[in-house]
Amino acid sequence: MNRRIIILTIVVMTMALIGLMVIQFYWIRNTSVVRENAFKRSITEMLPKVVKKIERMEKKKATEVNPNEGMLSFTRHMSYETFLTASHLDSLVRQELTVLGVDMKFEFGIYNPQRNIFLVESNPESKQDLIEKGYAARMFIGDIFTSPEYLLIYFPREKQFLLTEQWGILLISIILIIVIVYSFTYTITTIFRQKKLSEIKNDFINNMTHEFKTPISTISLACEALNDRDVNKSTEFMQSYLNIIQEENKRLAGMAEKILQTAVIEKGQLKMKREQINLHDVIADVIKNIRIQVEIKDGVIRRFFRAENPVISGDRVHLTNLVYNLLDNANKYSPKKPVITIRTENTSSGIVLTIEDHGIGISKSEQKKIFDKLYRVHTGNIHEVRGFGLGLSYVKAIVEEHKGKISLESEVNKGTTFKVFLPFNEPKE
């Protein structure tokens, strides 16, 4: 996919996601405002009902004191303590709140602003909150002879109550937003991962084509030489060209086997044929096979077998391939006169194999990817160093199958050191 299209897609998706989140938060905020206004309206409409009940209570009390009071035009003249207590007022307010479906703590009081006193109150400490934040309804509107008084009510946890009412909607909205953000992030990550994988696969195909082309061309030239009637075909000549064909054929088979091994590992079908093997013998055999490639570059392989017990339980073929891959890499990535050092030493539970070179090294950023399948260290030219990028991923898989560990230390232009720990026996699960 074109890089510009990917960037444009990401920008559009990001803007759409941000727009969706803004709309969602706007809708939640508006819903919160609507509910808050509805709550305030219901409380404002409730308070006059409580006031009317208080007025009836006073009138009833006045009638009990003076039976003739009801025949006259009633005007207020009784103090609150004669007919209304704080607990009684609490009961009246609570009854109306129950009708509204509101169940939360509240403070109340009857306040005279002219005298700046509370005539009835639930909590002396909440006076300031009642005056500044409380809902108010005037008492005894028909009483024109006394200074106005107000029934005040205040809800300390009003915000929490309103938020609790919307908790279901908020929770669903939050979950949906999280799901959308996660899906968006996962999609973007997948796009870049697939793009990177596509580039790696293209490099792999290019490398594979180049690697296979060389031995095929060599075999083709050798066959042409053998078929050329003008060439004098002595026994030595024939044997020489047959050896070339045989070696190149082995090389082709080895490359094909490496690709097949990777496919087997990918499917989780790798099987170990375990036996007691001497790791020193395995290393020595590999050195014999690879020494000529190192010596062609005027290089040297130094070995220090310090492990007193080199016998472990493992698969000889795969361990041979493991050592060969590490030595081959050390040789390939040492441009001039390779100096490769091999060390072994024992630990209490196994053996540590160390392979050190003084080659081009690996940068910190590449060290994290070095064991990824198809990944190759950048050398400036994709064909400068041969390989498919399968060696180290295979090495790691073999080490893990043997319940071991592999690590590396490297510095650019100074070299690389691989350390492989292999236990004596497979740990019991």
CATH number of 168-266: 1.10.287
Q: What share of the chain is helix, strand, coil (3-state, %, to 5)?
A: 60, 15, 25
pTM of the predicted model, to two decimals? 0.49
pLDDT at 382: 36
pLDDT above 90: residue 309: yes
Q: 380: phi > 0 → left, psi -120 to 50 → alpha, else beta; which?
A: left
The rounded mean pLDDT for the chain is: 81
Q: Which of 150-154, 218-222, 223-227 has the largest mean confidence?
A: 150-154
- Which range, 204-208, 251-255, 268-272, is most confident? 251-255
DSSP 68: G
Lowest mean pLDDT among 113-122, 192-201, 346-355, 401-410: 192-201
For the chain, where do the domains classified as CATH 1.10.287 start and end? 168-266
Residue limits of CATH 3.30.565.10 in the chain: 275-423
Taking the alpha carbons at both ends of the chain, their separation in whole angstroms is 46
For 381, which DSSP code?
S
Instruction: For CA atoms 74, 76, 81, 86, give the dihedral sign.
Output: positive
Question: Tell me, which fold does domain 275-423 have in CATH?
Answer: Heat Shock Protein 90 (3.30.565)
Give the pLDDT score at 418.
93
- Report pLDDT for 153: 92
For position 180, what pLDDT does the model report?
83
Q: Indicate whether 291 pLDDT > 50.
A: yes
pLDDT digits (tens, 9 = 90+) for 344-401: 999 999 999 999 998 888 888 787 778 776 555 555 443 444 544 456 877 888 898 8
Stretch (H or E) spanning 60? helix 3-65
d(CA 207, CA 389): 9
User: 158 or 276, which is more confident?
Assistant: 276
The predicted structure's pLDDT at residue 405: 93
Side chain identity at residue 246, one-letter code: Q
Q: pLDDT exceeding 90 applies to what percent of the chain?
A: 15
Is the predicted pLDDT of residue 270 greater than 70, yes or no? Answer: no
What is the phi/psi pair of residue 84, to 5°?
-145, 125
Residue 204 has a pLDDT of 62
